[in-house]
Amino acid sequence: MRSRSYRPMLAVDAEGPFSSDDWTFEVKWDGIRAISYVDREVSVRTRNDNEVIGKFPELATLSDLAPGTVLDGEIVTMDRGRPDIQQLFERLQKVRSIDLEYISRQSPVTYVVFDILEVSGKTVIDLPIEERRKILAGAVKEGPNVVIARFVPGRGEDYYKAAVAAGLEGIMAKKNGSRYEPGVRSGNWQKIKEVKTCDCVVFGYTGGNGRRSGSFGALILGLFDNENPVYIGKAGTGFSDADLEKFSTLFSDLETGASPLPGVERPDEVTWLRPEMVVEIGYHSVTKEGRLRMPRFIRVRSDKSPEESTIAQIRPEPIHEYREKRDFRVTPEPPGSGTGSGTKRIFVVQEHHARRLHYDLRLEHEGVLKSWAVPKGVPEEPGEKRLAVETEDHPIEYGSFEGTIPAGEYGAGTVSIWDKGLYEVMEWTEKTIEVVLAGKRLKGRYVLVRFRRAGMNQWLLFKAPE
């Protein structure tokens, strides 16, 4: 019986292929993600925690090949040298054991193991990824249906070109020294794919015209921001004739009279569906309005639940850069998990004795602390102007942080709170930020003006006359 459960660590989309000695690369397999718990019995569970060992009986060999482990990997099946995820989905639909036994002999799956979370009852997720790979190599024996992923250090661009040329989906980049973050979509893991993809929920469809007059025109797509559905666009291309016929059947069981998705253009032309179907959509980029650019249907994802289809897939993590720069096993700084305080926004000024003394001004905005380093301190008298250098966004929890960042870490030195309080926004644009501070030391109207002549992240900070 397993002592703990793990949610899989998730990756963000990379901007493109890159090479770096700080990263290691591996093939991105187009299969079903699964965490395996190997004890006297073998339990293989998908991302939405469904047990699938019965669907893939050949993976029972894990009990001999990797006893006493918890493994993370991808279940794949190959067709003419390339992964064929459709075969996997079809197998998930089979219910008769005689069918599954036949398929497992004719088209056996391979479990590609790329990480280890537990060995001999001890969790290893806090160890650096390099150490976990060494443990993985010693704890797992390869067999006909179980292999260990191959890791390539540094040369991500060459590896990406080779993977795409071989007809593979792309590669994964994983940062050296990183820990395993269960359930977190982390910038320490990045997907490098020829086409960006997003798992979207189908909220409805529009009517078809011409050749598709008997079917549908486009799928109405959304993602969840916490529990709130967010409209991200329509997908009307990428469908085969078989897809059109299949969707028409699926739609009839999901139709609802209510509109479950706000913000859709011409909602009266939409046939609304209960948000229960997940599809994978390829796209080029995301517009400023949060819509997918050039969306194209790829396939139905019956292995994923609507709740997994979150806005985080297309919205960068607000404090990604902050987390990238820090090793939270060493620094006492908060990793960040909270949200904004609501209508009353906080500000904080922290005195930072790093290589050079400076002061950090932080303003709560859109769920993070927008931050500036002010070398000479925040002015207290009207007319004084100070250079303020914009830095990475910090988590809200940083507003209460005081302590010493160890030598060798980013920003090493002692941090203390110089002033703290609430503030109101008068104006917040790309060029100008005007706020009214209500702290113990700082009170009144302050203005930040972008100073592009001095550099991209340079601002001028001054206290406005009363």
The pLDDT profile of the chain, 466 residues, written as one tens digit per residue, is 455 899 999 998 888 899 999 999 999 998 999 999 999 899 999 988 899 998 898 999 999 999 999 999 999 988 766 787 777 877 777 667 666 776 767 778 999 999 999 999 999 999 999 999 999 999 999 999 999 999 999 999 999 999 888 878 899 999 999 999 999 888 999 999 877 889 999 999 999 888 888 889 999 999 998 889 999 999 999 999 888 888 988 898 899 988 889 889 888 899 999 999 999 999 877 887 889 988 999 999 988 899 989 998 887 667 877 887 888 889 999 988 655 555 579 999 999 999 899 999 999 998 899 999 999 999 999 989 999 999 999 999 999 999 999 998 999 999 999 999 999 999 998 889 999 999 999 999 999 998 866 566 899 999 998 7
- Burial (0-12, 13-18, 19+ Cβ within 10 Å), 210: exposed
Please answer whether residues 178 and 130 qualify as being in contact, where contact means their C-beta atoms are separated by less than 8 angstroms: no
Task: Identify the CA nearest to 273 among candidates 292, 291, 260, 286.
Answer: 260
The CATH number of the structural domain formed by 10-194 is 3.30.470.30
Please answer whether residues 419 and 349 qualify as being in contact, where contact means their C-beta atoms are separated by less than 8 angstroms: yes
Please answer whether residues 271 and 204 qualify as being in contact, where contact means their C-beta atoms are separated by less than 8 angstroms: yes
- Burial (0-12, 13-18, 19+ Cβ within 10 Å), 105: exposed
Model's pTM, two decimal places? 0.57
Q: Is 28 a catalytic residue?
A: yes
The CATH number of the structural domain formed by 200-313 is 2.40.50.140
Q: What tokens appear for 76 in the block? A: 């794949």
Which is catalytic among the residues 28, 55, 174, 463? 28
The domain limits of the chain are 10-194, 200-313, 320-463
What's the 3-state SS for 332-346? CCCCCCCCCCCCCEE
Half-sphere exposure of 25 (CA within 13 A, CB side): 24
Q: What tokens appear for 425 in the block? A: 């926004």
Is residue 316 classed as helix, strand or coil in its secondary structure?
A: coil
